[in-house]
Amino acid sequence: MAWRGPRLCWGDRMAFRGVGSMKRWLVRAGIAAMLMLFAGLTAANADGDTIAVSVDQAKLVKLPNRVATLVVGNPLIADVTLQSGGMIVVTGKGYGATNVIAMDRAGDILVDRTILVSGPADKIVTIYRGVDRESYSCMPGCERRATLGDSEKYFKSVLDQAGTMSKEVAGGGGTTGKAN
């Protein structure tokens, strides 16, 4: 009898002969899983239950006018600020999912919605130097950008430069003497 390749068995239900049939099955299973996930996300977005925002971006969402209190599940993922007229500003802070609960003055829950925060929307180039990571925003030219997951030294350097620039602009450019 000739050798026909590996035979993998999981219980009595499924057996594969050869690597080719296993690969085909895994590809089909992966496609089916992606379609189910996409259908679920589309259904959730169609119902208005999910607020999707990119990290470092903001989105305006209208809620009922009676909102008095907002509770955010994980403020490291999203920041939510209440504006007049029931408008909220949702800002993506970190990757992942959290929720926001809106209550009226009596403590009754008006809205409980999921917030999904995904990666940046701009064109990012990531450079790896061993285990250290640096990110650059390339729209249209490449400039340094602090992104979650960058090496600590790079991240701090970018934020320090941005903070220094903000202080200089707020202080009139840092010039105190008279021009000749």
In tens, the pLDDT along 26-66 reads 667 667 665 565 555 544 444 468 999 998 899 999 998 89
Range of the domain at 149: 124-170
pLDDT tens string 3-17: 554 444 444 444 445
Residues 38 and 55 placed together within one structural domain of the fold: no
Q: Which of residues 28, 47, 66 is at a domain's end?
A: 47
Taking the model in full, what pTM does it have? 0.57
Residues 112 and 56 placed together within one structural domain of the fold: yes
Residues 93 and 60 placed together within one structural domain of the fold: yes
Residues 102 and 84 placed together within one structural domain of the fold: yes
Residues 42 and 54 placed together within one structural domain of the fold: no
User: Which of 19-23, 131-135, 139-143 is least confident?
Assistant: 19-23
Look at strands 50-54 and 109-118 and give their pairing.
parallel
Q: Is residue 9 part of a domain?
A: no
Per the structure block, which two tokens stand in for 83?
């504006």
Residues 55 and 41 placed together within one structural domain of the fold: no
* pLDDT confidence band for 153 (50 / 70 / 90): very high
Q: Is residue 102 part of a domain?
A: yes
Q: Is residue 178 part of a domain?
A: no
Strand partners, 72: 100
DSSP labels for 77-138? TEEEEE-GGGEEEEEE-SSEEEEEEEE-TT--EEEEEEEEEES-SS-EEEEEETTEEEEEEE
Q: Is residue 2 part of a domain?
A: no
Q: Is residue 7 part of a domain?
A: no
Residues 71 and 82 placed together within one structural domain of the fold: yes
Cα distance between residue 103 and residue 86, in whole Å: 11
Residues 41 and 61 placed together within one structural domain of the fold: no
pLDDT at 148: 82
Q: Is residue 12 part of a domain?
A: no
Q: Is residue 101 part of a domain?
A: yes
Taking CA atoms, 44 is separated from 27, 38, 114, 115, in Å, by 26, 10, 9, 11
Q: In total, how many domains does the chain have?
A: 3
Strand partners, 92: 55, 78
Is the pLDDT at 70 greater than 90, yes or no?
yes
Residues 33 and 56 placed together within one structural domain of the fold: no
Residues 136 and 155 placed together within one structural domain of the fold: yes
